[in-house]
Amino acid sequence: MEENYYLAKWLNDEMTENERAEFMASADFEQFEKIKKYTAHLKVADFDEAKVLEKVLNHKKATPKVIPMFGNWMLKYAAILVIALSAFFLTQNLVSETQYAENGKKTTFSLPDASEVVLNSGSEIKYKKWNWNSNRNLELKGEAYFKVAKGKRFEVTTDLGKVAVLGTQFDVKARESRFDVTCFEGRVKVNYNAKEIILTKGQSVSFENGIQTDLHLENLQPEWLNNEIAFNKAKLNAIVAEIQRQYNVTITIKSNYSDELFTGKLPTNNIDIALQIIAKTYHLVPKKITSNQIIFEGK
């Protein structure tokens, strides 16, 4: 506002010497000088005072509309605040929580009831925090070890089957067409297709293409927590897929191989040993093309 006042005085040549000197020293003076120069030749039509006065007197006065700016801004601010809080609530509570373990890594986290979950490489779990007490359900893709808080209950749902638990420790693995559940403590209820099985400590069950296999184990926890992968009558393609997940590598088999099923353990912290065990079992030769690309060829 003050700048416009001095500009008007300058254009009308009404400035004092001190005001003129100060104005000419301002950063915008050069621009104002150019505007004055290029508009000096412009002509404005003569001003008809009588005509303007008549138009003003004959114009119907409109009642000015008073807009309560303070109230308007308060309403807008309140609306924005409500939207922001709603978005935050949805993000934090209604939207599913997702935990993921990348290939070559493991992820450990706690559920709202303090139960502990460890995700194996290349695995994912989704669940909802906001109604956990009434909807204790997790969606699992891959493999996870659960250490359930005493007296707590929840269900683990996979594409192949479902497991219901109460204060126990167990492992669930759902990869491709194979579904494995192992109970390390307490009891778990396994649902696979139309079957329902109760497992107790040391019992394990596997389903693949409708075939059920039962095992009794002495382990206190899954081998993969101790840098080993345990296989029971596994096919080569399933073994290779697991090695790829554990070591974050790509393996190609350029040879025919037998349908022999593998039962045993492979290390997850030494890929060379793991490859040699597979090569010896299936009569293959492993070749590293790059640090993360491997080929199995026939002997």
Region for residue 290 given its phi and psi (left: phi exceeds 0; alpha: psi -120 to 50; beta: otherwise): beta
Q: Is the pLDDT of residue 161 over 80?
A: yes
Task: Report yes or no: 148 and 134 within 8 Å, Cβ to Cβ.
Answer: no
Tokens matching residue 189: 């209820």
Task: Report residue 88 as tokens.
Answer: 């935050």
Chain-centre distance for alpha carbon 106: 16
Q: Tell me the pLDDT tens digit for each residue of 115-135.
A: 999 999 999 999 988 778 878
pLDDT of residue 239: 95
Over residues 181-198, the mean pLDDT reads 94
Contact 223, 172 (CB under 8 A): no
The most distant pair of C-alpha atoms in the chain lies apart, rounded to whole Å, by 111
Quote the tokens at residue 121. 């490489």
Average pLDDT over residues 238-256: 93
In the predicted structure, residue 221 carries a pLDDT above the cut 80: yes
Whether the pLDDT of residue 52 is over 60: the answer is no
Residue 200 and residue 187: Cα distance in Å, rounded?
5
pLDDT band at 67 (very low <50, low <70, confident <90, very high): low
**Mean residue pLDDT across the chain:** 82
